[in-house]
Amino acid sequence: MNKYFDLKYFALALIVFAIGFYNHEQFILLLLTYFGYHIIKGNNRFLVLVNFYLAMLVSLSILEINKNSKILIGEWLNNLVGFSIRDYLINFNTNNYGEELGSFLNLILFGYKNSVVNELYKKIVNLSLLHLFIISGIHISFLALVIKKIFVKKWLYFPISFFLLFFICYVNNFNIGSFRALIFFILSGFKFKNKNPKLWISIIVIFLLAPKSLSQFSFQMTYISLFVLFMNFKWNKKLLLNSIIISILINIYLLPYISNMNKKISLLGFFYSYIFSPLVLANYFIALFTFMIPSYDVLNFFYQVFKEMVLLSENINVVITLPIIPVNYFPLYLIFIWSLNLLFYKVNDNKIWRK
């Protein structure tokens, strides 16, 4: 059987399961529909997924452990040290770099927004660039790669990377994207035949620490994007074309979330993402590595370049308003798009999807 088989149906099952927290009846109906279909097809692996998810849902109802909607490790650490290191660093930036630059650094390093950067923040949203300011797997993976180049020996590289990545997760309140990447990094020390065990383990860890987080947009958007990436990463051997197509597909999958969160989307957002990604990452890593050694001129230069590019891009931006898609229709929309995505591969006889 194709090694991608369980990942395909795992993606679908997870999406339906996570969104099912909003509407249990619809969740069970959709899950039973696919349950029956794949029973007929004889796909026993999907059966295991169904039973596992139903067991998790029942455990939530019986044990009533769905109160935590965020990972509380950061709060435990704050109580341990007696103060919030995140708050201290936010104040440090403002005091050392001034209100404007300091507020921008807080936005890019910690996702902290105040009134000083509010106008710039709105422009970033209108350009569909907000995802670049959320610490996620891209930041964590790139940082781990840089550390690995500096410290070649694994016995040195791994602990240094872990403590630095853990600290970054901590000062970002252990948001789902960064915490998932941290779990992936820890699991990189173990050998797996494919990425599926890492997905399973990361989801189970997040579920145990904060069960209700599975129903949050941040969790669903993180894992949907991840699944779309895994499902389509061999769409074309040309890296640039492949990445563009994956970016477009991710945005199509996430349209219901965008319609409820921002209500607007930039038609040039895909283009702007490629233009701004290197600059935002440069701002992030320069700010990170010069954090305790104030270097106003360097940081201000990159900030001013970024701000001018945002102002210029806003003048040629094309924004459309999206109709709000009710949350109850999310599973139907995602299953429909997922089915079209899968049908595309079957029609084109792509080897990735052959059994």
Q: 181 and 300: one domain?
A: yes
Residue 343 located in a structural domain: no
Same domain, yes or no: 2 and 143: no
Give alpha helix (H) positions in the chain.
5-19, 24-41, 44-63, 73-81, 85-97, 99-110, 118-126, 137-150, 154-171, 176-187, 196-209, 217-232, 239-253, 255-261, 269-289, 296-315, 330-347
| Residue after which a domain boundary falls, among 14, 40, 60 | 60
For 165-181, what is each residue's pLDDT tens digit? 888 888 888 888 888 88
Q: Is there a domain that residue 38 lies in?
A: yes
Asked whether residue 334 is assigned to any structural domain, the reply reads no
> How far is CA 134 from its chain centroid?
8
In whole angstroms, what is the distance from residue 11 CA to residue 16 CA? 9
State whether 53 and 144 are in the same domain. Answer: no
Structure tokens at 243: 């990445």
114-139: per-residue pLDDT in tens?
888 888 988 888 888 887 787 777 77
- 127 and 222: one domain? yes
| Residue 290 covered by a domain | yes
**Do 204 and 272 belong together in one domain?**
yes
Question: Among residues 12, 4, 1, which one has the least CA distance to residue 352?
Answer: 4
> Is 335 domain-assigned?
no
Domain match, 299 and 258 both: yes
**2/55 same-domain check:** yes
Asked if the structure places residue 28 within a domain, the reply is yes
Q: What is the pTM of this model?
A: 0.73
Please report the pLDDT score of residue 285 as a whole number. Answer: 82
Q: How far apart are CA 112 and CA 133, in angstroms?
A: 10
- Predicted confidence at residue 218, as pLDDT, reads 77
Instruction: Tell me the average pLDDT across 282-297.
Output: 75
Three-state DSSP at 21 gives coil
Residue 287 lies in a domain: yes
Asked if residue 66 is part of any domain, the answer here is no
Whether residues 44 and 115 share a domain: the answer is: no
Of 60, 82, 99, the last residue of a domain is: 60
Same domain, 39 and 173: no
Same domain for 115 and 182? yes
Q: Per-residue pLDDT tens for 7-60?
A: 455 555 555 555 554 444 444 444 444 444 444 454 555 555 555 555 555 555
Q: Are residues 134 and 32 in the same domain?
A: no
Angle between helices 73-81 and 85-97 (to 10 degrees): 80
> What pLDDT does 353 receive?
39
83 and 43 assigned to the same domain: no
pLDDT at 26: 45
Domain of residue 212: give its range.
72-324
Name the most confidently modeled range: 211-215, 228-232, 255-259: 255-259
User: Where among 60, 91, 106 does a domain terminate?
Assistant: 60
Please give the tally of structural domains in the chain.
Answer: 2
Q: Confidence class of residue 293 from pLDDT cuts 50, 70 and 90?
A: low
Taking the C-alpha atoms of residue 278 and residue 25, their distance in angstroms, rounded to an integer, is 44
pLDDT at position 48, please?
Answer: 56
